[in-house]
Amino acid sequence: MFNKVLVATDGSDNALAATKYALNLKRHRPEAKIILINVYRIPNLREYDVNVSVEGAFRKRGEEVVNEAAALFEKENFSVEKVCVPGDPAEVICRYAREQECDHIIIGATGQNRLGALLFGSVARKVTLMADRPVILICSSC
């Protein structure tokens, strides 16, 4: 129970709320390991050289997002693991949680209504459907 928690972050307000939720959890369970993950999707581009520079830009932004989230923990002298990888966000989050044997996933919800989620989908929705462990959805604006 809350021994190893994966926190997905994309820099959104809801992801920040999820990070703060995980920070509060860490305050109450200092022995819990927190892993912050950002999964960035690379657009499918035909020219290799362009794709390399685009991937670098996405990776750099993903690392910034993870570092910003980690700063909240580090400010209170808590250590966190930081992960930034390319791929389909929902698939990678679920696979990473399984491979690392995380007992929970914390993710910010998009705040979309059901129709919006059905039409456009959301990473949080897909994670709740695909995950084989508990998922905690956090929504700061719902």
Domain tally for the chain? 1
Residue 45 belongs to domain with CATH number: 3.40.50.620
pLDDT above 80: residue 8? yes
Give 32-77 pLDDT, tens digit per residue.
Answer: 999 999 999 887 665 555 555 778 888 999 999 999 999 999 999 9
CA 71 from chain center: how many Å?
15
Instruction: Write down the pLDDT at residue 42.
Output: 81
Mean pLDDT of the region 83-101? 97
Q: What are phi and psi of 29, to 5 degrees?
A: -135, 75
Q: Which domain holds residue 71?
A: 4-138
